[in-house]
Structure 1
Amino acid sequence: MGEGVAKGATETRRVTRLIRLPEVQHRVGLGRSTIYRWMAEGKFPKPVQLGGYAVAWSEAEVEAWIAGKLK
């Protein structure tokens, strides 16, 4: 029940959370068209394919992109 770390483990296990477009838009303050245009230009992280037309972004990659913009 829950995620635990094995005894003696020296590294914390990080679970990558995937976030969908509405949450990405909310976090970065950009519209859908801008996100997809910047992806095509290599200015924004690309999503992972979930199946069919469903895609999601790595929360860590989006957070890193935001942090890079704040510098």
Structure 2
Amino acid sequence: MEKINLTKAASLRDVKEITSFSRATIYRKIKESGFPKPIKISAKRVVWDEVQVKAWLNEQVSQLQTH
């Protein structure tokens, strides 16, 4: 089993608030643009690493500012 370094767990609600993306957009971005994948912590619960989500978002903003 792969060890996960989870800094701070963020729920889907948290991720939606951080990014202002809808649920559908979050899952589309996972497939299309390397958005951090959720981590399954139980049969019906997933979380994201908040640090990874914020790092991804900052990277996207940086890319837009350099173009």
Question: What interval of TM-score do these two structures reach, taking the shorter chain for normalisation?
Answer: 0.7 to 0.9
Q: Partners in 2 of 1:17 and 1:43 — Cα distance?
A: 19
Count of residue correspondences? 57
The corresponding residue for 1:38 is: 29
Give 4+ residue runs of structure 1 displaced > 6 Å after superposition: none
Q: Partners in 1 of 2:58 and 2:39 — Cα distance?
A: 21
The runs of 5 or more residues in structure 2 that have no matched partner are: 1-5, 63-67
Using structure 2 for the length normalisation, give the TM-score.
0.76
**Structure whose CA Rg is larger:** 1
- Identity in percent: 33
Query: Which of 11, 26, 33 lines up with 1:20 in the alignment?
Result: 11
Using structure 1 for the length normalisation, give the TM-score.
0.72
Measure how far apart 1:41 and its partner are: 2.1
The corresponding residue for 1:4 is: none
Q: Partners in 1 of 2:61 and 2:33 — Cα distance?
A: 18
Q: RMSD over aligned Cα, in angstroms?
A: 1.4
The corresponding residue for 1:57 is: 48
Q: Partners in 2 of 1:37 and 1:22 — Cα distance?
A: 16
Q: Secondary structure at the match of 1:30?
A: coil
